[in-house]
Structure formats: C-alpha cells, structure tokens
Structure 1
Amino acid sequence: MEWHHSRTLQGNQFTIQTNFENRIYSLYIECGPNYPQTPPILKFNNKCNLPCVNQGNGRVDNLNLLKNWKETTTIEHLLTAIKQEMVANKGLKQPPEDAYY
C-alpha cells in the first residue's frame, strides 16, 4: 500500500531561539508499497538549510534514522529527528522564506 502525505512544520515550536523560528516548512512524505520494511521518502518543499537535506532537491537523505531504518521506526520518530536537527543546527543561515525546490 502506498501512502502520500504533506506535513507542516512550524519553526515557532522550539523552546530555544533558532533561525527556523517564525517560519513554516512543508514536508512531503511518501511511503512506498514496501513500507514499513523500507523507509519513506521525505522531501522539503520549502528550501531548508540542514545537513540532512539535499540542497539540490530538498530530499532528506542524510538522516541517521533513514540510513539505519528499522520496521519499528515511525513517521513520528522521523519528524522528531528532523526537529532535533533543526535545534542542533539552529544557527545555520536559512534561504529566503519564499524559496522552494
């Protein structure tokens, strides 16, 4: 069964100040027919400067949970890991808010 979903991430959900604050990010999630045996595809629609995001296409490629995928990993785990990446990289300069892949 395939599953597609878009998720909105709001930068004001952090308890510390970050360069993601006051921004809204749209994240495309695609679970293919072999999910949960294989990881979903995660792709930012808005440009987002994070080490785990391919800057050419917005795809989340370099996230440990995706590289070490287990069937028991959930979408919630992935969203939490992305939020943790945003906090860990809070000082990274971000592209303009109206920039998209």
Structure 2
Amino acid sequence: MIRACLLSVLSAVPRNFRLLEELERGEKGISDGTVSYGMDDVDDIYMRSWTGTIIGPPNTVHEGRIYQLKLFCDTDYPDKPPTVRFQTRINMTCVDQETGLVEPSLFPMLGKWQREYTMEDILTSLKKEMSAPQNRRLHQPHEGIFILIASVSNDDQRVDQKGKCVIM
C-alpha cells in the first residue's frame, strides 16, 4: 500500500525533484551496502552523470569483486531509462563485452522501463542478474593491476611516481 502511494507520487514529481530524491537516498546508503550510487560530477546542474557501485553477490564468480558503473540520465529521465555502462570489465549476458553497455533489449528493467523505476532499482536488479543461472558461473575477465614505480634521488633531479596504479 505504501509503495503504491509512493509510486503514485513519483509519477507526478518533476525530473529535478525526482533526481534530488534519488541523490538523497543514494547518499544515505542502500540496504546492506553492496549497492551504492551518487553524482559523478557535483557541478552538473542538470544531474545527468551518475556513478554506481555493485559488490558482487556471494556464491557466484562475482563474489568479492567491486564493479563500477556509469549511469547517464538524459533530460527525458525518468520517462526514459538512463544509459547504463559498466566501467569495470564484466562478463554478463546483458552486457556488451566491448563497451560495457547494458543492452536494454537483454535487460528487462531497461527494455520495459517504467517511470517508477529508479537508479537504485537498476543497480539492485543488475546485482540480482549476476546471481542468475546464466551469469553466476560465467568466466570473468582478469582484473589487471599495473604498478609503476620510479626511484627518486634529489641528486639527479628525477621525478617520483612511487605507488601510482592503473587498473585495467
């Protein structure tokens, strides 16, 4: 009953108010902390660019992995779904392996978008999709870490790059 009332209210809320509500909810933290989201650029007055994080669900090949995503809410959000793209490499049936784009035709929440859905719903649904039989055991790309370390000596004027990491 309460959810039905909330959905009724959300369907009438203007875009910016809706996004402010989502931002507030994202900043407070979501349920068990394995899914989070927030603004990608706090100076973006149109609130288009968002970042999300999903911690892989237990008892899957995703367990212990942290996945970063970008969500782009164009001016027609929430009437149209955001564009969702994994920044972290992942092998899932609904994700384009070359671009990380979540394919709306393969991910029902985006393909059959309803105005009441939120970014939290998308992230939670993607986490659930990781546990689905078709994804839970798929071989995952290796997480590569490159560490560049350069020695420093004030005598020979070299620059220190110690500890700089690039994650592929």
TM-score tier, shorter chain, comes to 0.7 to 0.9
Structure having greater relative contact order (Cα 8 Å, sep ≥ 6): 1
C-alpha deviation, 1:25, in angstroms: 0.8
Give the Cα–Cα distance (whole angstroms) in 1 for the partners of residues 99 and 143 of structure 2.
Answer: 16
Give the Cα–Cα distance (whole angstroms) in 2 for the partners of residues 59 and 40 of structure 1.
Answer: 11
Contact kept in structure 1, 2:62 and 2:130, CA below 8 Å: yes
Give the Cα–Cα distance (whole angstroms) in 2 for the partners of residues 53 and 10 of structure 1.
Answer: 17
C-alpha deviation, 1:2, in angstroms: 4.4
Q: How many residues align?
A: 97
**Which protein shows a greater Rg?**
2
Partner of 1:49: 91
Contact kept in structure 2, 1:18 and 1:87, CA below 8 Å: yes
Structure 1 stretches of at least 4 aligned residues deviating more than 3 Å after TM superposition? none
Instruction: Choose from 52, 58, 63 the match for 2:107.
Output: 63
C-alpha deviation, 1:59, in angstroms: 0.3
1:77 is the counterpart of 2:121 = yes
Partner of 1:35: 77
Contact kept in structure 2, 1:25 and 1:45, CA below 8 Å: yes
1:10 is the counterpart of 2:29 = no
Deviation string, structure 1 residues 57-96 (Cα, Å, up to 9, x no partner)? 0000121010001111111111111011100121111001
Counterpart of 1:32 in structure 2: which amino acid?
D
Q: TM-score, normalised by structure 2?
A: 0.54
Contact kept in structure 2, 1:7 and 1:28, CA below 8 Å: yes
C-alpha deviation, 1:41, in angstroms: 0.5
User: Which 5+ residue runs of structure 2 have no aligned equivalent?
Assistant: 1-45, 145-166
Instruction: Choose from 130, 133, 140 the match for 1:86.
Output: 130
C-alpha deviation, 1:6, in angstroms: 1.0
Q: What SS does the aligned partner of 1:37 have?
A: coil
Deviation string, structure 1 residues 22-68 (Cα, Å, up to 9, x no partner)? 11111001100110111100000111000110111000012101000
Give the Cα–Cα distance (whole angstroms) in 2 for the partners of residues 8 and 78 of structure 1.
Answer: 11
